[in-house]
Amino acid sequence: MKSICKFAYAVALTLSALNFAPSLASAQDAAGTFTLTHEVHWQNAIVPGGKYRFTVGSSGSSEMLTLRNVSGGGASFMMLVVDAETSQPSDISQLVVVSRANGSFVSTMQLPEFGMTLHFAVPAETRDVAQRAATSSATSSATQTASAAR
């Protein structure tokens, strides 16, 4: 009777170890480095300029991005990815940064070498800022057209 219990325990232990093995293997899907030339807002974090190492891993049904500063103080950041989609191999690796009244915000991280594009939360642009941007670009276009006509 004791040997049957030991055998059942060994089987349960083996099955549970095999069940966790795929999770550990897929914990780090993507990794690489990039350099920020200036401070940016990355969701709720303010990430200073510098060289960073990133890793992207699955956390259940969502992706988690981890940043580690390799050029200085060793600061680390973790961000939950708002949305992830498949990228095309023809895309280029890039961080898409948008400008808002209160700073620069990372909106997208394209990683075609890993087949993914990650999207992050960015505050909505206020109507006043959007109108000023449209007005300044229209004024700039009109000025360029007027100077070209001279």
Residue 16 has pLDDT above 60, yes or no: no
Residues of the chain with pLDDT > 70: what percent? 64
Q: Which residues pair with 147 in a beta bridge?
A: none
- pTM here? 0.62
Is 99 a domain residue?
Answer: yes
Contacts 24+ apart (CB under 8 A), 103-109: 103/39, 103/40, 103/41, 103/46, 104/38, 104/39, 104/40, 104/41, 105/40, 105/41, 105/42, 106/40, 106/41, 106/42, 106/43, 106/47, 109/54, 109/65
Mean pLDDT of 96-123: 93
Amino acid identity at 145: T
Is 7 a domain residue?
Answer: no
Is 81 a domain residue?
Answer: yes
Is 65 a domain residue?
Answer: yes
| Domains held by the chain: number | 1
Is 136 a domain residue?
Answer: no
Residue 38 has pLDDT above 50, yes or no: yes
Q: What is the mean pLDDT of the chain?
A: 74
Is 52 a domain residue?
Answer: yes
Is 22 a domain residue?
Answer: no
Q: Cβ of 70: how many Cβ atoms within 10 Å?
A: 12
Rounded Cα distance between 110 and 84, Å, is: 10
pLDDT tens per residue, range 41-84: 999 999 999 999 999 998 777 889 999 999 777 789 999 998 99
For residue 84, give its domain range. Answer: 27-123
Is 15 a domain residue?
Answer: no
The DSSP output letter for 25 is H
